[in-house]
Chains A and B, each alone.
Chain A
Amino acid sequence: MAGFLKVLVRNLMQGPSTDPFPLGETFTPQRLRGKVHINPNLCMGCGVCRHSCTAGAIDIRQLEDGTGFKITVWQNACCLCASCRHYCPMGAITIDNNWHSAHAAEEKYDKVEQQIIRYEPCSHCGSLMRPLPLERVRALYANDDSLDPKLLRTLCPKCRQIEDAKRNSCKLPGAPGKSASANDDAATPASAAPTA
């Protein structure tokens, strides 16, 4: 009897253990996985998220006019495994803790996270390409002060290769100016010679 009274008093003091939701507020854990978001400044469209997506909820397709691509995550197919976030090399995918997902069936296909990402022209040849974010380029070329990340970022991969060849050709054994006398027989291609 005394034990029962103890439980009764404790329950009266503590109040009900029922969560007041949906009539009141509820708790949400900080790391709960709710909705997927894509950062359009970071996404490069590499497709690793689409490849790793367990439920096939991610779609990446080129725009019809070829000026960019569209990345779509359908929340109604997303199983919240977070492998896209785990494998994204750019860290462009975040998952917030918004779990308010119940909706009327008419809105079924509206529950998407969609970003349209435009290509930019290469500063040398003008072909369309997706520039790397500046922070990423800074990190990639951090050990070489002679490189300008802002310029490199605006070059398409082909022009970047040519720039790299121009820069490094002076370091080649047969390059003129540096050790030309030691390697007279090595023909120096004119196109690879450093120009201004």
Chain B
Amino acid sequence: MSMDTWLKKMSVRSPWLFRINAGSCNGCDVELATTACIPRYDVERLGCKYCGSPRHADIVLITGPLTARVRDRVLTVWNEIPEPKVTVAVGICPISGGVFREGYSIEGPIDRYIPVDVNVPGCPPRPQAILEGVVLARSIWLKKLGLEG
């Protein structure tokens, strides 16, 4: 087994999460914090951990409808994340614009700018739904790495 494959196999045990707030109302961010920090939901069982730097991330969770002001910064941060990355849109805002759709300051939905892999709709989605989305994102990430299952 080559070093590269070995490293890949080790790293799939712990896909690190990165959170981007693209102008969210903070509702989904609170649910994301709940998913990670409260023992009842505990996303760290799956090896997932929020990381502070986009360069360490594997799965990126985006909340918010992508406002005009934050657009370029979101794209900068998103481009910093190394491939292969899996993008998860959390809440209805990044998916469709939600209640802010067609607002004058809204550049979203987010898939106009960023290829999204997983959608988790809800306003906000409950922590179990976010967990479900993270599990789905992990399986997509394994496919991207070429390590099925």
Contacts and interface: CB of A to CB of B under 8 A. Distances in A.
Interface of A: 16-19, 21-23, 26, 32, 54-57, 74-81, 99-105, 107-108, 111
B133 A102 contact: yes
Interface residues of B, number: 36
Interface string B106-132: 000001000111111111011011111
Given A100-B129, A102-B118, 18 more contacts: A16-B39, A18-B42, A19-B40, A19-B41, A19-B128, A21-B41, A22-B128, A55-B96, A56-B101, A76-B95, A80-B123, A99-B125, A99-B126, A101-B120, A105-B119, A107-B119, A108-B119, A111-B121
A178 B119 CA distance: 71
B92 A78 contact: yes
B96 A105 contact: no
The 3 closest A-B pairs by CB, nearest first: A102-B133, A79-B123, A77-B96
Given A22-B131, A102-B129, A55 B98 contact: yes
Interface string B51-92: 000000000000000000000000000000000000001001
Given A17-B40, A77-B97, A101 B117 contact: no
12 contacts: A17-B40, A19-B41, A22-B132, A23-B45, A32-B126, A55-B101, A57-B96, A77-B101, A79-B92, A100-B129, A102-B119, A105-B89
B119 A103 contact: yes
A78 B101 CA distance: 11
B92 A99 contact: no
A100 B119 CA distance: 11
Nearest to A100: B132
